[in-house]
Structure 1
C-alpha cells in the first residue's frame, strides 16, 4: 500500500497525568479546558524514542504531521515550560501556566523558537492546527483561527527549509492562502458522505481548493454502522478523486480504517482506488499548478464550464476533477439485493469515455449507469491526454520515469505537464518545467508530439522514458518514433509496442530521450470499426469477475465452457492481438450466448440473478449514442 503522510492525532503528547484527575475524572486545566487537551511534550509511553520514530519516517520518505490544540497555552508539566515562563515574565516556581496569545509577538516567537522549531528540526514536517482557538483575540477584529494559520504558515515561509504547509481549521475568507483545510469531525453515515462532493466542489467559489476530509467519517451517529464495508469503500473512492486523500476516525476500537481488515472484495476495491490516486499524481500536480495560476480549484462545480446548463446546477455531486475528468462519486448504498449501485450522470456537450468500462458517450445527455463496488463514475473528455505515473510506494520514492501518457479517443488533444522540485519555494522564481504534448488524428493516421521541455529546476531529469497508451484502439498497423519503426513485442520491451487486451489499449514503450529533444510518434491505426470497442472493456471485466466468484463449474462442466472462455477475452486479445478484430466482431453473439447459459442455470443458482442483471446492463452501447 502506498503512503506519503502520517497524520498523528493528539496522543503523541502527554494527555494523562495524576494531576489531571480528581475522583477519577478529568479536571479542567488552568485555562479552563479539559486537562491534557493541549500538549507540546512527547508521551514516552507511546513514543519511547521520538527521534527514532521520526528518523524512521524520514528514511521511509513519509511526512509526519502532528496534531496541536494550542489554546490552553504552556502548562507546568511541559518540557519547555520553564523557558517559556521566563520569556513571558512568569516565575516558573509559581507553576502558573503561560497563556496562549498568538497575537502577542513575544509569545509567538517564543512558541516557535523554544517549542516547535526544535521538533521540526528533529523531523516533524508540519502541524495540524486543530480546534480550540476561541472566538476573539486581544486585537479587535482579528480572528484567532485566521491569525493562527497566518502565523504558522508565514513562519514556515521565513524558515524557507521546505514548502510551507499547514493542516488547519477554516478561519474565514482568505484562508485559501494557507493550505490545507481540515473540514472537521464528519459523522459516519451515508448522508455525511453524500454531502462532501458538493461541499468540496462549491468551496471553489471562495478559492478554497484543498479541503481534507476525514475519509470514512470520524464518529458514529445514533444507529449508524461503525464498520460498513460498502460505506467505507465508497468513501475511499470519493477520497481518491478529492483534493486530499486522508483517512481518520475517533479513538474507538470498533471503527476500522485499515483497508486490509475488510472483506477481500472491499480491500481490492479500496486498494485499486489508492493505486489510481497515485497513478494520477502527474495529472493532479499539473491541475494544482493550474489552480495556483488561475485561482480555479482542481475540484469545481459543473457550472464553471457550463454556466447556462440547468443540469450543471441540479447534479450537485457532480464536478470536474481537473480539466479533463468528470466525476460523480457513488454516495448511496446498493439497494434491493443488487450487487451494484445505480447512478444517474449528466454528461455535458462533447465526447466522453467512461473510465472503468471504456463506454463512449456523446453529450449532452443524462444517463443511468450501474457500478460494481470497485467502479467509480469517472468520465474522461474526448481527446484528453492524462499524464500518469507507474506504480510507486510514495511520491518521493522515485522520479516519474517513465511518464505514462494515456490518450483517450478524439480527433485531437493537448496537455501541458507541470513539474518542479516539490519540496521548496523555488517555483516562485521560475524554477519549474512544462512539457507540452499534443496529438491529431486524420483518418487512420495519428500523430503524437512530445515537445522539448520548457524551463528547468534542480534535480530535473535530463532524459526520460515515456509510455504511450492509446485507449479503445485495435492493435496498430504501424508505429514510428522519430522515423524509427517499432515492432510488436509480447512483453513490451523498450522501443516496441504491445497490446493490453483487457483494456483494449495499444501501449508504446519509448526509450530514454533527452528532455530538450522533440519526439514525434506516427501511428497507423487498424482499419476496423473502433465504435465496436465501446463498453467491451467493462463487459470483459464484469464477466471475468462473475466467473471468478463461482468456483468450480457444475457438471456437465463443458456446458459452461463458452462462459469461461468468453470471460478470458481480455487475456486472449493480449496474447493474440492479431485476432482482435475477428474476436471483437463475434463478441456480441458470444455475449448473448453467455447470458442465455447463465439464465438457464438460475433455477439451480437463484443467487446469480443480481449478477445476471448486472451483466445484462453491461451490454455494449453504440458509441455515437446521443440524447438531448
Structure 2
C-alpha cells in the first residue's frame, strides 16, 4: 500500500512538473514588429504579417542558420495592427481581416475569419524535416501538411495539361517543363490562397487525409492570403508578388508565326501578303536558326546568307505598320562568343540543352552578372536593329540526356536542383530589367514558354508549349489557361492550331478539311485569349494557306481576326484594370459566379473580361473520315450545350436574344460561330474596322448597351507604347447605364496625354434582336453623343 501510495504521489508530482514546464513553454514566445516567433518541436517558428490579409509562416530546424531572400515575393512586411491573446497553448493574433492561431505545443498554425469560422489549418505536427545532402551542403526534404475541408474546391498549381479545372484528389510533381508551368500555389473556394515559396521540384499531394507540399529546402516557408473571395485572392497574390505592367496596344492585335521563316524575304512577303489581302496583322515572329548552324545556336547575330540585311527587314515590317518579334534562347552553341565567355567566367550550367547533339549549354540566369552579359549581346546583335518584342523560348529550359548529376550543377544561388523552377523567372527578369534600363520609349513585350510565381511583373506572356494539334489538346488549353490566371499571372496564350501538326499532313496538310476545322475552332478560342498568335510546325498557318475569300475556312478565320480588332477598346481597357486593379483577362467562372455551385468545375467555358462568356468548340462537327477518306459535310448545323451562370441574364452576342441565367441552352454553331454571350448591364465599346491596331484613332466609337441591369465601364487610353502612363500620362472616361431611367452617362474625362482625342463621337446602341448584334457595326443608332471631355447624359 505504501509503495502504491508513493507511486501515485510520484505520478502526481511528475504531472505537476510537466504542467509547470509546459506552461513555461506555452509562454515562451516573443512578439516582433510584424508578428511572433518562438521555439517548439525543435524548430524555430515565426509568424509574420505582410498585411492585414497576408501572413508568412517560416519554420526551420532549431539553430540552423540560413539566408532566404524570395525570388517571387517583392512585397515587404508592412506595419500591421494586430492584437495578441494567449489561452493555454494557443497564441491568437488578430488583424482587422483575419485571426491566426499558433499552437505552442504542436506548431500548428490555423486561420479563421473574424467570426471565428475556420478557413484553413495546418495539421498538428505537420512540419517535417528529413536531413539530406544537397551536393556538399547539409539540407532537408521539407514537408508541410495541411487539412482542407472535403467539400472545398481548389484551383491553381500554374498551368498543367491535365484537363482539370479543380485540382483536388491528386499527386503531382510540380516541376517546370515544356507544356507544364508549375506553381506551388493553390486558391480555395473559401476565399484564401497558399503560396509555398520554394524553387525546387515540389510534390503536391491532396487526398482524404491531408494536403501537402514537399520539397528540397532549408525551411518551410509559405504565405497565406485571405481575399474573402476568389478574385480577392488573386488581388492579394499580385500585392504579394507584383503587379503586371501594361503591354503596348499593338500586342493585343493578331500575330502570325510558324516554325520557321527561313530567310528575311519570306518573312517580309508574309507581311506584304496580309496587307495585300487587307487582313489585319500587328505582329510577325522570327523563330530559330536566323543565326545559322547549330554550333552557333543563339549567337544573337544574323546569318549573312539568309538574313543579309536584318535592319532593312525590321524597317520593312515597321513601314508596313507591323511589329517584329525575334526569338532568343537561354542556351548557347559551343562556337558562340557567349558560350566561351560564360564558360570562362563559370557562368554555364553544365548540362545539355536544345538542340540535341549540338553541345549547347544554358547560362546561369540566377547570376546578375550573367544576366548583364546576356543582355549586352542581345542588345547589340538583335535589339539594335529595331526589334519590338522577344520570344524567350525554352525558358524552363530544355534538358536533354538527363542525368542525376546534372541537378548537382552549381548556380549562383545554389545547386540547380534547389532552384530549377525559378529559371524562367530570373531569365525573363533579366531581359525585362535591361530593356527598361535601355529605353522607356518601347514597352517590354516578352513571349515565353515557362514561368514562375511573380513573373507577371516582368512584361511576359506565357504560352502553353509545344502541344499536339488535336481536339483533345485544344480542350485541355481552356482549364490550363484558367488555372494559370487563377495563379496570379494574367497573360497567357497557346499556339493556334497546336504546334505539332504532322498527323494531318497525310491527308493534305493545310488542305485537309479535318485540320482546317480544328484550326478554325482553335483560332476562335484564341480570339479570346490575351495574345492571339498563330504558330506551329509541319503545316503553314498563314490565312492564305486556308483558301481564299468564299472558302469557309478562310472566311471564318478572317471574321474572327476582325472581331478581335473590334474588341480592342474593350480589351485594352481591361488590360488597364489588370495593371491598376489586379484584374484578369480570362476568368474561370467560379471567380465571378461564386454563388453558383454549378460552375465550380466547368472546364470548357470562361469569361473574357467581366462581360463575355466564351464557350469554345472542342469537338469536330463538319469533317471526319469514312472508309479512310476525309470528308466535309455542312448539310446539317452542329450545336453545343452552354451553361449560362446564375446571377445574371445574358444576351446571345450573335442574335441579340436575351436568356435567363442558371440554365443550359443549346447553341447552333456553324463553322464561323463560337458560342458567345454578353452579360446584361454590359457597356461595350466597339472599335473601328482597321488593318492594324493603331490605324485609326478611337474618335468615333460605337457604344453597345446590353440592358437589364445597371452597368459601368471605364474606357482607358494612353500613348500606346511607352511608359509615360506610369507618370500619369493616360485618360479614363467612365461610362454608366442606369437601367431604371434608361439613361447613359458619359462621365468627365480624367487625365491627359500627348495625342489625346479632344473631341469625339459616341454612337449609342441599345442592343436588341435588330441592333448591335454580331461583328458588324451598325448605322442604326439610338443616340449620337458629341463629347469634348465634359460629362453628358442622354435618355434612351
Give TM-score, length-normalised by structure 1. Answer: 0.69
The DSSP-based 3-state class of the residue aligned with 2:600 is: helix
Match of 2:497 in 1: 216
CA RMSD of aligned residues (A): 3.2
Offset of 1:5 from its aligned partner?
A: 1.2
Could you tell me how far apart the structure 1 residues matched to 2:773 and 2:525 are? 30
Unaligned 5+ runs, structure 2 = 1-278, 348-358, 400-406, 624-632
When structure 1 is superposed on structure 2, of 153-162 and 216-225 the one drifting more is: 216-225
Once the two structures are superposed, residues 444-471 of structure 1 have per-residue CA deviations (whole angstroms, 9 ceiling, x without a partner) of x732221121111222112222222222
Q: Distance in 2 between matches of 1:339 and 1:453?
A: 50
Does residue 398 (structure 1) correspond to residue 696 (structure 2)? The answer is: yes
Encode CA deviations 1:219-255: one digit per residue, 9 max, x unaligned.
13657874411111101100001111000012x3xx1
Aligned match for 2:445, one of 140, 153, 165: 165
Question: Could you tell me which residue of structure 2 aligns to residue 340 of structure 1?
Answer: 637
Matched, 1:174 2:454: yes
CA distance in 2, matches of 1:49, 1:501: 40
Aligned to 1:199: 480
The match for 1:131 among 384, 394, 397 is: 394
SS class of match (1:10): coil
How much does 1:85 deviate? 8.4
- After superposition, give the CA deviation of every residue in 1:355-390 in whole Å (9 maximum; x if it has no partner): 112221011111122210111111001121111210
- Could you say what secondary structure the match of 2:434 adopts? helix
Residue 6 of structure 1 corresponds to 284
Shift of 1:441: 4.5
Give me the whole-angstrom Cα distance separating, in 2, the residues matched to 1:413 and 1:145: 40
1:175–1:114 CA distance, 2 compared to 1 (3 A) = closer
Tell me which residue corresponds to 2:535.
Answer: 248
User: Structure 1: how far apart are the matches of 2:430 and 2:773?
Assistant: 54
Match of 1:437 in 2: 735
Q: For residue 356 of structure 1, what is the aligned residue in structure 2?
A: 654
CA contact (8 A) 1:433 1:455 kept: yes
Instruction: Compare the two structures and name the one with the higher helix fraction.
Output: 1
Instruction: Determine which of 703, 719, 726 is the counterpart of 1:428.
Output: 726
Q: Is the 8 A contact 2:497 2:535 kept in 1?
A: yes
Task: Please tell me whether the aligned partners of residues 465 and 512 of structure 1 are also in contact (alpha carbons under 8 angstroms).
Answer: yes
Give 2:743's aligned residue. Answer: 447
Match for residue 262 of structure 1?
A: 546
Cα distance, 1:62 vs structure 2: 1.5
2:612 pairs with one of 325, 334, 338: 325
CA–CA separation in structure 1 for the residues paired with 2:323 and 2:369: 30
Secondary structure at 2:295's aligned position in 1? coil
The answer (yes or no) to whether the contact 1:282–1:389 under 8 Å persists in 2 is: yes
Aligned-residue offset at 1:352:
0.5
Are the aligned partners of 1:471 and 1:505 in contact in 2 as well (CA < 8 Å)?
no
2:688 is paired with a residue of what secondary structure?
coil
Q: Indicate conservation of the 8 Å contact 2:683/2:705, yes or no.
A: yes
- 2:329 corresponds to which residue? 69
Shift of residue 190, structure 1, vs aligned partner: 0.6
Distance in structure 1 (CA, Å) of the matches to 2:499 and 2:774: 40
Aligned to 1:152: 431
Whether the 8 Å contact between 2:657 and 2:769 is mirrored in structure 1 is no
C-alpha distance after superposition, 1:455-510 (max 9, x if no partner) = 112221122222222221669xxxxxxxxxxxxxxxxxxxxxx9999999832574
Work out whether residues 767 and 773 of structure 2, in 8 Å CA contact, stay in contact via their aligned partners in 1: no
- After TM superposition, where is structure 1 displaced by more than 6 Å over at least 4 residues in a row? 96-99, 498-505
Counterpart of 1:591 in structure 2 is none
Answer yes or no: is 1:299 the counterpart of 2:578. no
Contact kept, 8 Å, 1:353 with 1:361, in 2: the verdict is: yes
Q: Distance in 2 between matches of 1:74 and 1:461?
A: 53
Cα distance change of structure 1 residues 368 and 457 upon mapping to structure 2, 3 Å threshold? same
Moved more, 193-202 or 408-417: 408-417
Structure 1: gaps of 5 or more residues: 17-33, 91-95, 476-497, 524-628
**2:315 aligned partner:** 55
Query: What is the match of residue 384 of structure 1?
Result: 682
Deviations 1:260-290, CA, capped at 9 Å, x for gaps: 3224111111111000001001111111121
1:399 Cα deviation from its structure 2 partner:
1.9
* CA pair 357-505 structure 1, distance change in 2 beyond 3 A: farther
Cα distance change of structure 1 residues 38 and 507 upon mapping to structure 2, 3 Å threshold: same
Q: 1:457–1:205: structure 2 CA closer, same or farther, 3 Å change rule?
A: same
Measured in 2, the distance between the counterparts of 1:167 and 1:223 equals: 27
Are 1:69 and 1:129, in contact at CA under 8 Å, matched by a contact in 2? yes
Higher relative contact order (CA 8 A, sep 6+): 2
Q: Report how many aligned residue pairs link the two structures.
A: 469
Higher strand share: 2
Q: Once structures 1 and 2 are overlaid, which stretch shifts more, 373-382 or 132-141?
A: 132-141
CA distance in 1 between partners of 2:494 and 2:680 (Å): 31
> Aligned match of 2:794 in 521, 526, 547?
521
Distance 2:342 2:474 in 1: 45
Shift in Å, 1:304: 0.7
Contact 2:745 2:792 in 1 (8 A): yes
Report if the CA contact (8 A) 2:481-2:493 is conserved: no
Partners of 1:347 and 1:146 lie apart in 2 by 37
SS at match of 2:742: strand
Change (3 A) 1:257 1:449: same
- Confirm or deny that 1:506 pairs with 2:777: no
Aligned counterpart, 1:190 = 471
Offset, 1:161 = 3.1
- Secondary structure class of the residue paired with 2:780: strand
- Distance change (3 Å), C-alpha of 1:98 and 1:205: closer
**How big is the shift at 1:81?**
8.6
CA distance in 1, matches of 2:346, 2:759: 59
SS of structure 1 residue aligned to 2:649: strand
Take 1:54 and 1:400, find their aligned partners in 2: how far apart are those partners? 27
Checking the alignment, whether the CA contact within 8 Å between 2:525 and 2:616 is kept in structure 1 is yes
Instruction: Give yes or no for contact 2:297–2:360 (8 Å, CA) kept in 1.
Output: no
Contact kept, 8 Å, 1:211 with 1:244, in 2: the verdict is yes
| Cα 1:55–1:167 shift into 2, 3 Å | same
Q: Per the alignment, do residues 155 and 506 of structure 1 end up closer, same or farther by CA in structure 2, a change over 3 Å counting?
A: same
Deviations 1:288-341 (A, max 9, x none): 121223333210110012224232123211111101111111111116956433
Task: Provide the rounded CA distance (Å) in 1 between the counterparts of 2:474 and 2:545.
Answer: 21
String of CA shifts for 1:106-135, please: whole Å, max 9, x gaps: 443233234424532320112211116357
